Structure 1
Amino acid sequence: MIDLKTLRDDPDSVRESQRIRGEDPALVDQALDADARRRTAIADADRLRSEQKSLGKLVGKAQGDEKQELLAKGKELAEKVKAAVAEQKQADEDSEKALRAISNLVQGAPAGGEDDFIVLETVGTPRDIPDAKDHLELGESLGLIDMERGAKVSGSRFYFLTGNGALLQLGLLNLAARKAVEHGFQLMIPPVLVRPEIMGGTGFLGAHADEIYHLPDDDLYLVGTSEVPLAGYHSDEILDLSEGPKRYAGWSSCFRREAGSYGKDTRGIIRVHQFDKVEGFVYCRPEEADAEHQKLLGWEREMLVAIDVPYRVIDIAGGDLGSSAARKFDCEAWVPTQNTYRELTSTSNCTTYQARRLSIRYRDENGKPQTAATLNGTLATTRWIVAILENHQQPDGSVVLPDELAASVGVKVLEPKK
């Protein structure tokens, strides 16, 4: 949720942010109108309560007919107070709903949609791989991936990771966890079912709510990233940030319905309903957020160096940020058989947007509570297996693993099954 003071003091900046995102600037005026109605309702209720209090003092001093008249007036005034309080409550709800409809304020992101990103840097040169096999063909021949039985058991876009495939994923995620701990993150294995107020507080129940699995009997949501439970971890708390940011790394299974992606990336494990991920999450003071964002990006790049794949860093356009992010950088790895780069990591600066919705604060140097900032960034996911297999394949169909992964899997070369 954006800062109400910013909405009141500088509505033009909020309108411009909405335009950069390709969203409706009229939501700004609707929120301003709702805020004005709320303030009027508060003033009316306060005035009537003051009248009621003054009348109560007069009743205590009056006698006879005068007292009866005042009591009758008091009864009438009590009904007005009751109605005014109800109006104030409704105005509060309407104002918050209108404010929550506005996405976070964009900070430096280019305008446009999914294809309007800016390439900031390209690292590494793609290898020339004649007759390259895609990750699924490699995964099946090496005994790593079983899509057919995944579909038999659970339906389309599900899979089994088998043998060295399972070890490869565990090695990859263990590598991410180890590096995160080395950089001062506290490792967490969070719940993957969360309450509506936590899912909504992180901003995931807006335009993309149809991506999320919901269990109506329990009114719980399956998370699509451990960003969600990690954001909820300190909800309704005042944090001690006197010694610097709090950094967590969440290892969890993630679930996405992939609504609207019919026919896209149906082959293999690029776009699936269930995957595992290690996600970095940071709480900090707002003035530290930009620096923490660059640190998260740096840690993601360190992981990409460890798996030794060509990649590029892109600055995501406003229309592709999602409601919570003010700025987002993706790292995309080269996928030889697609002759393009595909997203492996994403890191977002959510400024105070999520923390304001979840009531996460810290005390400033004067001891006054202030809204914290939150950031998140991918440190490894199942999808990385795609880039690892395709970029490290050999002419004989084997795959040579990067050294840091080979140590976890137990073999340097993955050989085709006989």
Structure 2
Amino acid sequence: MLDPKLLREDPERVRAALARRGAAELVDRFLELDKRRRQLLPELEGLRATKRRASREIGERQRRGEDASAAIAEMRTTAQRERALEQELQAVEAERERVLAAMPNLPFDDVPDEPRVLRSWGEAGRRGRDHVELAGRWLDLEAAARTSGSRFVYLKGPLVMLELALVRWALELLEGEQHVPVIPPVLVRERALFGTGFWPDTEQQVYRLAEDDLFLVGTAEVPLASLHADAILAEQDLPLRYGGFSPCFRREAGAAGRDTRGIFRVHQFDKVEMFCFVRPQDSASEHERLVAIQERIYQALEIPYRVVDIAVDDLGAPAAKKIDLEAWLPGEGRFREITSCSNTTDFQARRLEVRYRPSDGGPPRYVHTLNGTAVAVGRTIIAILENHQRDDGTVEVPEILHPYGAPTEIRPL
């Protein structure tokens, strides 16, 4: 959520930034509603003061045995006007909050208009079998379709051991980078979705348990962001860094006909997610640090990738800047997104009321939050299978995963 004070004091800057995201008209609508709200508040206070004076006058007249009918009539008129203004104020405030909630974050000035490749690693360009052929029956899509419908999967045998090894290795790596491992709840209330900026924006992607008013998360970012909701943290305790492992659930609405083969785009998958709470002045360097960890992970797995500065049109609503790693997939003969890393500045912190108290004793300030994929398990398995395939159709599993229980090789069943 944007700072209302910034909208009032520097509307031109906000308007120009949001114009890049196609949302400039929201600024004028917010300012119109905010102005009306600030007009109504003192008018209401004046009416309430008038009512209090009239009430005292009525009481005094009645105690003296005097006629108070004129004062009573005046108070009734005032009360009617007060109720009308209260109703208008309620409507104005609700619409003002709706408009404010609809505004995406302000993109950084260096966010490109078109995606920009910053660098690459490894040898891309190889072609080969895709992950469905390489995994064989260890990847059982047919049984999952009978059980749950399309875009679900049974992982079996060596793929299970590969997943568990990936997760354990990634969590230990993150722990070495001062990220506390967390297994968060995957059912959350609406506020958690709103707080991260997924609501209102991506409701069509979220599974809902209507009877319990709970929602299945599409990423551990959602519960991790709420870990310190309504808290005032101490500056000396920042940064707070977490590595969350969770199943994730996405309806993939609007994805009909896209990525229907295999497990690149499914309704349920597991993921290790990084999440950080930092001081505002540290968020840019923290973003670079998270991307560096992502690169370290995929270099260790020997997966060719490129680092992409995401275009402004493709930023999620909370993000001020987003960097993706795209892995080369020989089975498709192209780069595909395998991780994402976003600096959301104070956008989420304002919605969730996460602040810190500066060491100099100044008033509490909002933290900045950042999130980044460490390992999206399904897509990482795809990248391992396709990039480490041998000519005979077997797969050599990266050596770094062997101590964590991964098989040394995978043969199609």
Question: Shorter-chain-normalised TM-score: which range?
Answer: over 0.9
Aligned-partner residue type, residue 397 of structure 2: L
Q: 1:168 aligns with which of 157, 162, 165?
A: 162
CA shift for structure 1 position 234: 1.7
Matched residue SS, 1:383: helix
Q: Structure 2: how far apart are the matches of 1:340 and 1:11?
A: 42
Deviations 1:66-92 (A, max 9, x none): 544334433432333333333323222
Q: 1:118 aligns with which of 108, 116, 119?
A: 116
Aligned-partner residue type, residue 13 of structure 2: S
1:303-322 equivalence runs, <5 A: 303-322=297-316
The equivalent residue for 1:19 is 19
Deviations 1:120-154 (A, max 9, x none): 1111112645xx110110011xx531111111211
Report if the CA contact (8 A) 2:125-2:333 is conserved.
Answer: no
Residues 1:97 and 2:93 aligned together:
no
Q: Structure 1: how far apart are the matches of 2:339 and 2:235?
A: 27
CA shift for structure 1 position 337: 2.1
Q: Structure 1: how far apart are the matches of 2:278 and 2:119?
A: 27
Aligned-partner residue type, residue 387 of structure 2: N
1:208-357 equivalence runs, <5 A: 208-357=202-351
For the aligned residue pairs, the C-alpha RMSD in angstroms reads 1.8
Q: 2:139 aligns with which of 123, 145, 150?
A: 145
1:59-208 equivalence runs, <5 A: 59=58, 61-62=60-61, 63-65=64-66, 67-112=68-113, 116-126=114-124, 128=126, 132-140=128-136, 143-208=137-202
CA shift for structure 1 position 267: 0.6
CA shift for structure 1 position 276: 0.1
Q: TM-score, normalised by structure 1?
A: 0.93
Q: Structure 2: how far apart are the matches of 1:314 and 1:253?
A: 26
Report if the CA contact (8 A) 1:109-1:317 is conserved.
Answer: no
The equivalent residue for 1:396 is 392
Fraction of identical pairs, as percent: 42
Report if the CA contact (8 A) 1:355-1:371 is conserved.
Answer: yes
- Of the structure 1 ranges 205-214 and 299-308, higher mean CA displacement relative to structure 2 is found in 205-214
Task: Please list every run of 5 or more consecutive structure 1 residues that lacks an aligned counterpart in the other structure.
Answer: none
Report if the CA contact (8 A) 2:165-2:406 is conserved.
Answer: no
Aligned-partner residue type, residue 93 of structure 1: A
Q: Structure 1: how far apart are the matches of 2:165 and 2:318?
A: 31
Task: Please list every run of 5 or more consecutive structure 2 residues that lacks an aligned counterpart in the other structure.
Answer: none
- Of the structure 1 ranges 56-65 and 267-276, higher mean CA displacement relative to structure 2 is found in 56-65
How many residues were matched structurally?
Answer: 409
Deviations 1:226-253 (A, max 9, x none): 1011112222222223232111111100
Q: Structure 2: how far apart are the matches of 1:402 and 1:351?
A: 36
CA shift for structure 1 position 283: 1.1
- Of the structure 1 ranges 30-39 and 46-55, higher mean CA displacement relative to structure 2 is found in 46-55
CA shift for structure 1 position 366: 2.4
The equivalent residue for 2:42 is 43
Q: Structure 1: how far apart are the matches of 2:399 and 2:42?
A: 68
Q: Structure 2: how far apart are the matches of 1:355 and 1:96?
A: 16
Aligned-partner residue type, residue 42 of structure 1: L
Q: Structure 1: how far apart are the matches of 2:97 and 2:126?
A: 55
